[in-house]
Amino acid sequence: METIRFIIAWATQNQWKINQMDVKSAFLNGLLEEEVFVRKPPRFAKEGSEDKVYRLKKALYGLKQAPQAWNKRIDSFFVKAGFKKCPSEHALYVKFNESGDILIICLYVDDLIFTGKSTRMIEDFKRSMMHEFEMTDLGLMSYFLGIEVMQREDGIFICQKRYASELLRRFHMHNCNPARTPVEVGTKLFKEGDDAHVNPTFFKQLVGSLRYLTCTRPDISYGVGLISKFMKSPHQSHLQVAKRIMRDLINKRVIELKYCKSENQVADILTKPLKYEAFVKLKGMIGISALPNQD
């Protein structure tokens, strides 16, 4: 998630657009290094050769080697195309051209997002991918890993409205009464108590889903962090707090996190000294005006 945030922030700062592509049947492109044999499907065996098997040259879905084979295939393709893999984030690839323009790619299994200044580099990359693999060009990034992305002129906005709705239905809480706040004032949780234990697997699934929602819902971060301390042996009191956080989602409040250029960060007027021009600009953006002289 941090890599995606970096790409969004970098693209916003440079006023670039983020594109997205999808590889169709990605695992079928992986080349096998081991000898793997499979039985013939029913009715494919010829008379007199029923005891023979097929040797696979490429991976199939369901093989334990398939993910690694696909990763090696796409990695070798990027390296041959002139990309360099980030040593600390293996899903991130970077390429520079003769003019110094940069193309940044983030790979998640079979989903690609990429951005850069040069339109020519982007189009060349799309053509090379479509020539090598069967691809789907999804245009500008709008939905990636459960995160909705809106690319506008004044910045890039992200939210998880659809994910939150699916989460409520998954845990059968979409018809519950809403809560006004994620956590009730004065809530205190303890490791041991007299209340009943709850299913740890169910509790971990619920808390894990809520933790991913904090990517765009910082207002529930405190509550999610509070219940995350009791994953090993949850009690009914812990589950009630988790359910209250879920009930807070029913209010249909959508928080859009906005990525904007550094000079448009309005919070800077409250946190750091600024040049006069920047101070006046930000003051106007948040609607602060001087009171008229009463003398």
Name the DSSP letter for residue 197. Answer: B
**Using alpha carbons only, what angle is made at residue 75 by residues 72 and 79, rounded to the nearest 5 degrees?**
135
229 has pLDDT over 80: yes
CA 199: distance to chain centroid? 28
Strand-strand pairing, 54-55 and 37-38: antiparallel
265 has pLDDT over 80: no
Residue 79's pLDDT is what? 94
Phi/psi region, residue 61 (left: phi>0; alpha: psi -120 to 50; beta: rest), is: beta
Which of the listed ranges 123-137, 191-205, 261-275 does the model predict with the highest average pLDDT?
A: 123-137
CA 84: distance to chain centroid? 22
Distances in whole angstroms, Cα of residue 122 to Cα of each of 3, 95, 102, 129, 137: 19, 11, 10, 11, 12
Confidence of residue 94 (pLDDT cuts 50, 70, 90): very high
Q: What is the mean pLDDT of the chain?
A: 86
Task: At 87, list the tokens.
Answer: 């040593």
Give the dihedral sign, CA 199/200/203/204: negative
Residue 61's contacts (CB-CB under 8 Å, 6 or more residues apart) are: 25, 27, 28
Residue range 150-161, pLDDT digits in tens: 998 888 888 888
Residue 268's pLDDT is what? 75
